[in-house]
Chains A and B, each alone.
Chain A
Amino acid sequence: MKRTVTIRRAQASYSRGLIVLIRKPSNIASSEITTQSNYLNRRKFMIGAGALGAAVGAERLSHFVAPQAVMADTKLTTVKSSLSTTGEALTSLKDITTYNNFYEFGTDKSDPSQNASTLQITPWSITVEGLVKKPQTFDMDRLLKLHAQEERVFRHRCVEGWSMVIPWDGYALSEFIKQCEPLASAKFVQFLSLADKKQMPLLDRVGLDWPYSEGLRMDEAMNPLATLCFGLYGETLPKQDGAPVRLVVPWKYGFKSGKSIVKVRFVADMPKTTWTEIAPNEYGFYSNVNPNVDHPRWSQKTERRIGEPIWKQRRQTLMFNGYGDKVASLYSGMDLKKYY
């Protein structure tokens, strides 16, 4: 019974044919099966835990059960971007899809890969409002075709002190912004993520103000590195990585790159952003990667590269995550210790 429903939902998500998407032969999206295999893994695990006589810990222990990668089943046709980082090993698809901060689906790193299957990504659209010539809504079809999709390999540095190298697929955010036709009075752009209790049952368990809000100064948003992202590793975004459309701002800490974006708002004043609202001393609006400014609770001088052997995974954190040549000029004359 449960399975039939799952399959039907999977087929429904294919009913909208997208021109740039090439369908793979498989009928059932792998994303739809994950729940079941996780369920089985969990069961297997629970039996073991029972033997420990540690019922209390059982649920927490299940964090170690590696969930299968939840990949959407559609390929993206991309061209390689000249902005890509070269010479660094890519983080594995498995790590990118099982180690996520996506608090709408739970606060543990493995929660999103286990819970995000309830996210409904079709239909999807981004509403554009605020200081624009004309408010409008972009559906996925239009967004995907708005500009040629590029493979953009960027370092991804989390404020928590770990990093990855991810081959994203998308195009310059500026291409999208041009189509939004912002007014000259727009100085900032705010990105709002989906917040729907029905799809995100754990939403209320986290003490954050939903929806998740992030923002950029207009010139930051227009920088060629700022990316509107639709996929990774050549396929549409897995749900736990922010499907179907997210932001990637590689010179800033990862939380600046909102996932599952539903609304873009052009504004005159610095918008309120989720983490800055809840802990302004820990997370500033700018949040550029900066080894010289510690997080109050840990140093940002170094980072741990996910997927590398644990005895040599620690490396120096680079100013602007190593993208200073392209973005440092945005902040000339600014005291980055003050505007962290």
Chain B
Amino acid sequence: MPKRAIQILWWLTFVACLMPVAWLGLRAYHGQLGADPVQAITHFTGDWTLRLLLACLSITPIRRLTPRLSWLIRFRKMLGNFAFFYASLHVLTWVVLFSGLDWHAMGADILKRRFITVGMLAWLMLSALAATSSAWAIRKLGGKRWQALHRLVYLAAIAGVLHYWWLVKPGVRTPLTDTAVLTLLLMARIVWELAHRRPRQSAGSGARPTAAAV
């Protein structure tokens, strides 16, 4: 893949990631968010958070399966940060539109409602990852520590899907697709680890074993 083509594709992906929020804004402007705009915005931003997070998590398995696509690594950070972007819109919708800035009620909700607790945790994890997503942060933290921190993305994704299951009524199976995809992506990693298990010393030596493996 020529460098120029990758650059163009990067920008196309960047614009594509902004399309959902642009579409949402347009719908809101025209008053076309349906009978319950707050719920519509909440679900929409939540759905896109999970989608982008899963897209981000799919990069490494795709690269391992198809080394020719190893340039995809350049897209991972962007997808992760966009997941954080939509997660933040999601939280903001809850804070401003749903709770009407009633901090007391929100505090009680975070403590009492497990789906909100776990959702908030997921967002805090994504915040930490977004805040340390720059090359400067990697240098500052050191590759090893940075990577350990960024393993939180698995926990964040699991928390996100759990949040979804805990909020829907029993009997509702809409979180099934996201759950299946996440399971597949996590399984791919476990299978890879088992197949490529190496002695302790060498396994921990590379700063970015994902890149080293390709």
Chain B residues contacting A334 (CB-CB under 8 Å) are none
With A54-B20, A98-B35, A304-B38: A297-B167 Cβ-Cβ less than 8 Å: yes
With A66-B34, A297-B113: A60-B39 Cβ-Cβ less than 8 Å: no
Chain B residues contacting A304 (CB-CB under 8 Å) are 36, 38
Q: Is A53 in contact with B16, judged by CB distance below 8 angstroms?
A: yes
- Interface residue stretch chosen among B129-137, B168-176, B190-198, B206-214: B168-176
> How many residues of B are counted as interface, with CB atoms below 8 angstroms from the partner's CB atoms?
37
Chain A residues contacting B51 (CB-CB under 8 Å) are 54, 56-57
Q: Is A314 in contact with B100, judged by CB distance below 8 angstroms?
A: yes
| B145 interfacial contact with A, CB 8 Å | no
| A323 interfacial contact with B, CB 8 Å | no
- Interface residue stretch chosen among A129-137, A205-213, A285-293: A205-213
Can you list, as one digit per residue, whether each of B159-199 has a CB less than 8 Å from chain A (1) or not (0)? 00000001111111110000000000000000000000000
* Contacting residue for B105 out of A63, A99, A107, A299, CB 8 A: A299
With A54-B20, A207-B170: A64-B32 Cβ-Cβ less than 8 Å: yes
Nearest-neighbour CB distance to chain B for A301, whole angstroms, equals 8
Nearest-neighbour CB distance to chain A for B36, whole angstroms, equals 6
Chain B residues contacting A94 (CB-CB under 8 Å) are 35
| A14 interfacial contact with B, CB 8 Å | no
| A340 interfacial contact with B, CB 8 Å | no
| B27 interfacial contact with A, CB 8 Å | yes
Nearest-neighbour CB distance to chain A for B130, whole angstroms, equals 21
Nearest-neighbour CB distance to chain B for A149, whole angstroms, equals 26
CA distance A64 to B166 in the complex (A): 23
With A54-B16, A57-B47, A57-B51: A298-B34 Cβ-Cβ less than 8 Å: no
Chain B residues contacting A48 (CB-CB under 8 Å) are 23
Q: Is B174 in contact with A109, judged by CB distance below 8 angstroms?
A: no
Q: Is B35 in contact with A95, judged by CB distance below 8 angstroms?
A: yes
CA distance A306 to B33 in the complex (A): 12
Q: Is A64 in contact with B20, judged by CB distance below 8 angstroms?
A: no
| B108 interfacial contact with A, CB 8 Å | yes
With A57-B47, A297-B113: A279-B170 Cβ-Cβ less than 8 Å: yes
Q: Is A109 in contact with B105, judged by CB distance below 8 angstroms?
A: no
Can you list, as one digit per residue, whether each of A66-82 has a CB less than 8 Å from chain B (1) or not (0)? 10000000000000000
| A310 interfacial contact with B, CB 8 Å | yes
| B123 interfacial contact with A, CB 8 Å | no
Chain A residues contacting B170 (CB-CB under 8 Å) are 207, 278-279, 282
For the complex of A and B, 8 pairs with smallest distance between CB atoms: A99-B35, A207-B171, A95-B35, A208-B171, A52-B19, A279-B170, A278-B170, A107-B172
CB-defined A-B contacts under 8 Å, sample of 29: A51-B19, A52-B23, A54-B16, A57-B51, A63-B43, A64-B40, A95-B35, A107-B168, A107-B169, A109-B35, A110-B34, A206-B173, A207-B173, A279-B169, A279-B170, A282-B169, A282-B170, A294-B112, A297-B115, A297-B166, A297-B167, A298-B109, A304-B36, A304-B38, A306-B36, A307-B35, A310-B37, A313-B38, A314-B100
Q: A51-B19, A54-B19 are in contact. List 17 more A-B contacts (CB 8 A).
A: A57-B47, A57-B51, A61-B23, A63-B34, A63-B40, A63-B43, A64-B27, A64-B32, A64-B44, A99-B36, A162-B36, A162-B39, A207-B170, A294-B112, A307-B35, A310-B37, A310-B38
